[in-house]
Amino acid sequence: MKIELSATPPFSFTSVVNSHGWARLAPFKTIEGEDDLAYIFRLGNQQVVKLDMEETPNGVSIAIQEEVSVDGVKEIKTAVAWMLALNENFQEFYNLTKSESKLGRVEEKAQGRLLRSPTLFEDTVKTILTTNTSWSGTIRMTESLVTQFGDPLPGRTEQFSFPDPGKIASSNEDTLRNETRLGYRAPYILDLARQVDAGKLNLEALKNSDMSGDQLHKQLTSIKGVGNYAAANLMMLLGHYEYLTIDSWALKMVSQEFFNGDPIRPDDVEGVFEPWGKWKGLAYWLWDWSEE
DNA sequence: GGTAGACCTGGACGC
DNA sequence: GCGTCCAGGTCTACC
């Protein structure tokens, strides 16, 4: 079965896949040197399927080996449109970048869309797993969580979907800490999964919320394990670019580019990108940090 | 509001 | 191979 979806132009599948590291985290899968992207997806009826995505002239095509119901196809279309931000429009941002050489090629490359997971629960878990660790640690912890708690793709027992919140919720801190090896993040992930599973926290509602940026940020930082950096990252994934993902790398790059390498504080980074207003997170993210 | 210390792991480094 | 140090955000306690 093949499903075709169109995107608001300009669109570049490669730019979305390479927008940040998410494509390297399970249950996403990429093949070195190839432009396609796979994802192990669990439908609402618990069926697990593999989505093989590749670029088409107008958007993306999704190849699926398994038989899927009409409702399932609808669900997949909605999920992929969200994951690849197919319907987002960045023209206003592109117009602003024309006068900035460090952002000179973003429109040409159709950059701006950030790859996201089907659910905000998954993106929140993954974001927490990026904090205070190396990238290899994030890959390891995500893989471990998916392998241990995900549902297997039929016939391919080595490939799993991202775990349902309930699966993690029914686990315990000791298992997550010592077997999944999430370390001190274990209670954060467990608490998040239990809140979502119990219906006390409706993360998915935030995807289409009319909350202000500040309200959204406050809501996200109320989650244990989500601080300023993690909340800003999640807001970017939600299409709000008014917060900056300031980590140690950001402080280093901004210091080198704007402050002659002197020590700086997060407020200094904010100040540099303030002129970009509601697009400042994206301006920072897509900035060409290479030396001229 | 600002700051220090703890949290956990992997990688780099020296022996 | 082993021990030590450090980097990486967030939370909590304290001032």
pLDDT, residue A260, reads: 85
Cα–Cα distance measured from residue A80 to residue A39, given in angstroms and rounded to the nearest whole number: 10
CA angle A151, A170, A23 (to 5 degrees): 40
Q: Is pLDDT of A95 > 70?
A: yes
Asked if the Cβ of residue A221 lies within 7 A of any atom of strand B, the reply is no
Banded pLDDT at A137 (limits 50, 70, 90)? very high
More confidently predicted of A228 and A291: A228
- pLDDT above 90 covers a percentage of chain A that reads 88
Instruction: Answer for the pair A86, A5: CB distance below 8 angstroms, yes or no.
Output: yes
Banded pLDDT at A35 (limits 50, 70, 90)? confident
Cα–Cα distance measured from residue A194 to residue A201, given in angstroms and rounded to the nearest whole number: 9
Banded pLDDT at A233 (limits 50, 70, 90)? very high
pLDDT, residue A289, reads: 86
DSSP 8-state assignment for residue A40: E
Cα–Cα distance measured from residue A247 to residue A229, given in angstroms and rounded to the nearest whole number: 7
| CB count in 10 Å sphere of residue A133 | 15
Asked if the Cβ of residue A187 lies within 7 A of any atom of strand C, the reply is no
Banded pLDDT at A291 (limits 50, 70, 90)? low
Closest nt to residue A182, judged CA to C1'? B8
- pLDDT above 70 covers a percentage of chain A that reads 99
Nucleotides of B strand lying within 7 Å of any protein CB atom: 7-11
H-run or E-run covering A117: none
Instruction: Answer for the pair A207, A238: CB distance below 8 angstroms, yes or no.
Output: yes
CA A131 to chain centre: 14
Cα–Cα distance measured from residue A221 to residue A253, given in angstroms and rounded to the nearest whole number: 25
**Average pLDDT over every residue of A208-235:** 94
CATH number of A2-88: 3.30.310
Asked if the Cβ of residue A134 lies within 7 A of any atom of strand C, the reply is yes
Cα–Cα distance measured from residue A4 to residue A84, given in angstroms and rounded to the nearest whole number: 13
What's the mean per-residue pLDDT of chain A? 94
**Average pLDDT over every residue of A72-78:** 98
Fold agreement (A2-88, A120-237)? no
**Average pLDDT over every residue of A135-142:** 94
pLDDT, residue A292, reads: 58
Sign of CA dihedral A138, A144, A147, A149: negative
Q: Where are the domains of chain A?
A: 2-88, 120-237, 248-286
The DSSP-derived string for A212-262 is -HHHHHHHHHTSTT--HHHHHHHHHHTT--SS----HHHHHHHHHHHSTT-
pLDDT, residue A147, reads: 95
Strand order in the sheet with A48-55: A2-6, A59-63, A48-55, A37-42, A28-30
> What topology does CATH give the domain A120-237?
Endonuclease III; domain 1 (1.10.340)
Asked if the Cβ of residue A140 lies within 7 A of any atom of strand B, the reply is yes
Instruction: Answer for the pair A161, A41: CB distance below 8 angstroms, yes or no.
Output: yes
pLDDT, residue A290, reads: 74
